[in-house]
């Protein structure tokens, strides 16, 4: 996105300028915490802070250091480093307080002890950074959650808002745009102190609206506590992150917390079809929590969200999809409300799932209070839903169609493969993908099975193996593919195991004919591959482009045309 330059590479270091100091005493009473002074001092409650961080390495002078329990360490073990860096106070839990008492370095600053310190950080950061002032001068805030489609939908919302003349910020998996800063992301949703400080930086720099992705990790780990969104959107729920949540119901329950009055004023929920149990459940939940008039339910097909006769909270879909047609590699369509209002929309991104993402973004902006006529004019004049989303169904070349996509779970992979399938008899689908190490292992055979069912040529390669043996991961993916072949349900006629990934990409291109589609899935915009703790440079888009260039030079005219 234009006009933004990176000055820092760490969003946690970006702070608003005009912060008013807040006393530790007022913070302690706001969160019902106990104020301790472990070493001598006269007025611990009167000590003031001007920032918050839960990482000792990002502490600035006069920050409050939130020393939280983690999976590996207790943050209290880093209190001495935080104090060295200038922390003026510490927020922790009772375990942390014990660690501080036992610490060799005396803790000379006030300590606030909260029963659940992580849950207190959001509201503390909201107060310190005044991220959503009570006078309503804050940003118009949009949140997108769901298993797949968050990044794409936030880019779409951002693009529509810009077409409407808003100055916008963005927080998500790929990058953070705040003021004149463009910062590569480390997490889909940053930690609470960073989120609140970013919102204030955006407001200070004159931004009027921001869209952000909210992952289930973010809700579970209280990263968006203390924020109330104007509009929250739900894309879908399919298998992912079961390593964290355990069951799909638990995963749903975490996402559902976003659709409550504490966290959002209004909501838009996508329901794929009448069998989309999670979408229907989220629509009902949002209507029950926020009131049916504050929720727009969009049904891609069908529209049985509830029984129309049994009261407004259980009525059918509010918006339905009409006149869906292909437009280039994307689609044009109409969104029609029960009351007859309608919007003409089109997107240049391939895949029917991008119709859902485009519809969700459009309805989220409408739900924020923009007049329908103004929205229609912006859609018609600026074509905002044809924006590039880095590594999301990104078209790298034509003849063969060459696409890089971020699909890294079963549902996304199936949909991405369907989106690049050439018309019957016209060409083959050649897939390069792998599975991530140290994450939800149950996905591996499932993704292998989907690959063998939906692609003609399957090349199993590496994703980010992290600390796992890459060949073991590949074998687990291959096992799913082989099982389907043995069961007789496979479309694939060739299955290869090729590593490293760059070689797999070049091999895929060499196998392709002019009318085939090559899709490299799973890593999207990523530019490094982590193997055993070492980051190796690897950009699927650059590799695919290079492979196409190589083939173009050695074959006939028109082959390997890149975008
Ligand atoms: C599972 C998870 O989310 N873990 C997060 C958690 O780590 P942790 O509990 O293991 O922390 P720890 O390493 O034990 O350290 C404990 C505390 O000491 C602090 N510390 C640690 C070292 C030090 O020198 N100084 C210091 O202050 C840490 O900041 C932390 O607060 O707290 C850390 C600090 O806030 C996060 O960076 C870390 O996210 C890790 C990096 C992560 O990869 N998270 C992923 C799984 C995640 O959140 N993903 C979702 C999206 C998923 C998706 O949709 O695909 C996301 O929103 O990005
Ligand atoms: N609405 C959708 N339904 C199913 N699959 C989708 C949808 N939108 C995108 N996808 C697929 O999921 C991949 C990831 O898309 P996107 O980055 O927009 O989602 P995300 O929710 O931000 O994912 P992540 O949290 O993993 O970053 C895409 O590359 C595409 O293959």
Say yes or no: CB of residue 356 within 6 Å of ligand 2: yes
Say yes or no: CB of residue 358 within 6 Å of ligand 1: no
Q: Indicate the pLDDT class of residue 557, thresholds 50, 70 and 90.
A: low
Ligand 1, atom 17: closest residue by C-alpha: 75
Distance 114 CA to ligand 2 centre (A): 37
Compute CA 152 distance to the chain's CA centroid, rounded to the nearest angstrom: 9
**Burial letters 421-452, b for 16+ CB under 10 A, else e:** beeeeebbbbbbbbbbbebbeebbbbbbbbbb
Distance 325 CA to ligand 1 centre (A): 44
**pLDDT tens sequence across 19-64:** 899 999 999 999 999 998 877 666 777 899 999 999 999 999 999 9
Decide: 110 and 127 in contact? Cβ < 8 Å: no
SS3 content of the chain, % helix, strand, coil (to 5): 40, 25, 40
Decide: 401 and 560 in contact? Cβ < 8 Å: no
Over 70: is that where the pLDDT of 310 sits?
no
The radius of gyration of the chain's CA atoms, rounded to the nearest angstrom, is 25
CA angle, 116 as apex, 111 and 122 as ends, to 5°? 85
What tokens appear for 220 in the block? 């579970």
Query: Rounded to 5 degrees, what are φ and ψ at 178?
Result: -140, 120
Over 90: is that where the pLDDT of 3 sits?
no
pTM for the predicted model, two decimal places: 0.90
Nearest ligand to the C-alpha of residue 300? 2
User: CA nearest 409: which of 461, 463, 355?
Assistant: 463
CATH of span 394-562: 3.90.190.20
Over 80: is that where the pLDDT of 365 sits?
yes
Over 70: is that where the pLDDT of 307 sits?
no
Q: Minimum mean pLDDT among 106-110, 296-300, 451-455, 468-472: which range? A: 106-110
User: How many percent of the chain have pLDDT more than 90?
Assistant: 80
**pLDDT tens sequence across 272-305:** 988 889 999 999 999 999 999 999 999 998 766 6
**pLDDT tens sequence across 166-175:** 999 999 999 9
Say yes or no: CB of residue 57 within 6 Å of ligand 1: yes
**How far, in Å, CA of 439 to CA of 425, rounded?**
37
The predicted pLDDT at position 299 comes to 95
Q: For residue 391, give the ligand 2 atom closest to its CA.
A: 29
Over 60: is that where the pLDDT of 393 sits?
yes
Say yes or no: CB of residue 217 within 6 Å of ligand 1: yes
CATH fold of 137-386 reads: 3.40.1190
Over 80: is that where the pLDDT of 246 sits?
no
Q: Find the largest Cα–Cα distance for the chain.
A: 82
Q: For residue 416, give the ligand 2 atom closest to its CA.
A: 31
The predicted pLDDT at position 221 comes to 95
Ligand 1, atom 29: closest residue by C-alpha: 55
**pLDDT tens sequence across 208-235:** 999 999 999 999 999 999 999 999 999 9
What tokens appear for 277 in the block? 């149990």
Ligand 1, atom 36: closest residue by C-alpha: 191
- Range 183-200 average pLDDT: 95
- Range 490-504 average pLDDT: 96
Query: What architecture is the 20-127 domain classified under in CATH?
Result: 3-Layer(aba) Sandwich (3.40)
Distance 367 CA to ligand 2 centre (A): 22
Angle of helix 443-454 relative to helix 470-487, nearest 10 degrees? 50
C-alpha to C-alpha distances, 277 to 249, 280, 465, 501, 527, nearest whole angstrom: 11, 5, 33, 37, 36
Boundaries of every domain in the chain: 20-127, 137-386, 394-562
Topology agreement, domain 20-127 and domain 394-562: no
Mean pLDDT, the chain, rounded, equals: 92
Helix or strand run (H / E) with residue 496: strand 494-497
Say yes or no: CB of residue 394 within 6 Å of ligand 2: no
Nearest ligand to the C-alpha of residue 415? 2
């Amino acid at each position: 996105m234009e006009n933004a330059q990176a000055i820092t590479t760490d969003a946690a270091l970006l702070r608003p300028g005009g912060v008013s100091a807040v006393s530790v005493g007022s913070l302690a009473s706001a969160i019902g915490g106990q104020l301790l002074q472990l070493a001598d001092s006269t007025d611990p409650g009167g000590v003031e802070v001007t920032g918050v961080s839960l990482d000792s390495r990002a502490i600035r002078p006069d920050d409050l250091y939130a020393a939280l329990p983690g999976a590996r360490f207790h943050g209290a073990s880093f209190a001495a480093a935080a104090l060295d860096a200038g922390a003026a106070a510490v927020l922790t839990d009772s375990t942390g307080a014990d660690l501080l008492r036992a610490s060799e370095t005396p803790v000379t600053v006030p300590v606030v002890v909260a029963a659940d310190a992580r849950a207190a950080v959001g509201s503390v950061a909201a107060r310190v950074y005044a991220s959503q002032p009570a006078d309503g001068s804050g940003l118009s805030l949009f949140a997108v959650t769901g298993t797949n489609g968050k990044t794409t939908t936030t880019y779409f919302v951002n693009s529509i808002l810009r077409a409407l003349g808003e100055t916008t910020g963005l927080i998500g998996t790929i990058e953070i745009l705040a003021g004149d800063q463009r910062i590569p992301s480390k997490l889909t949703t940053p930690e609470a102190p960073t989120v609140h400080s970013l919102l204030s930086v955006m407001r200070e720099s004159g931004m009027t609206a921001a869209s952000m992705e909210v992952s289930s990790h973010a809700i579970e780990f209280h990263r968006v506590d203390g924020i109330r969104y104007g509009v929250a959107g739900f894309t879908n729920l399919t298998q992912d992150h079961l390593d964290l949540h355990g069951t799909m119901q638990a995963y749903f329950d975490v996402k559902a917390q976003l659709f409550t009055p504490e966290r959002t004023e209004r909501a838009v929920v996508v329901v794929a079809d009448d069998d989309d149990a999670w979408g229907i459940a989220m629509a009902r939940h949002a209507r029950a929590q926020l009131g049916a008039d504050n929720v727009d339910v969009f049904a891609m097909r069908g529209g049985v969200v509830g029984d129309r006769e049994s009261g407004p909270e259980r009525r059918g879909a509010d918006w339905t999809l009409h006149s869906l047609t292909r437009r280039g590699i994307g689609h044009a369509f109409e969104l029609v409300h029960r009351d007859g209002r309608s919007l003409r929309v089109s997107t240049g991104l391939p895949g029917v799932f991008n119709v859902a993402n485009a519809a969700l973004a459009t309805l989220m902006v409408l739900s924020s209070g923009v007049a329908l006529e103004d929205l229609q004019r912006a859609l018609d004049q600026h074509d905002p839903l044809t924006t590039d989303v880095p590594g999301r169904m990104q078209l790298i070349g034509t003849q063969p169609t060459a696409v890089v996509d971020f699909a890294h779970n079963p549902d996304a992979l199936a949909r991405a493969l369907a989106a690049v399938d050439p018309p019957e008899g016209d060409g083959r689908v050649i897939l390069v993908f792998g599975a991530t190490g140290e994450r939800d292992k149950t996905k591996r055979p499932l993704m292998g099975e989907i690959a063998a069912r939906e692609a003609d040529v399957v090349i199993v390669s590496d994703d980010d193996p992290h600390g796992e043996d890459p060949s073991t991961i590949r074998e687990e993916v291959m096992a799913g593919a082989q099982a389907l072949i043995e069961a007789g349900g496979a479309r694939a006629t060739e299955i290869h195991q090729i590593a490293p990934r760059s070689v797999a990409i070049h091999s895929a291109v060499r196998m392709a004919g002019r009318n085939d589609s090559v899709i490299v899935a799973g890593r999207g915009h990523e530019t490094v591959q982590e193997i055993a703790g070492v980051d190796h440079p690897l950009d699927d888009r650059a590799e695919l482009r290079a492979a196409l260039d190589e083939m173009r030079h050695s074959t006939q005219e028109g082959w390997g045309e890149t975008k």
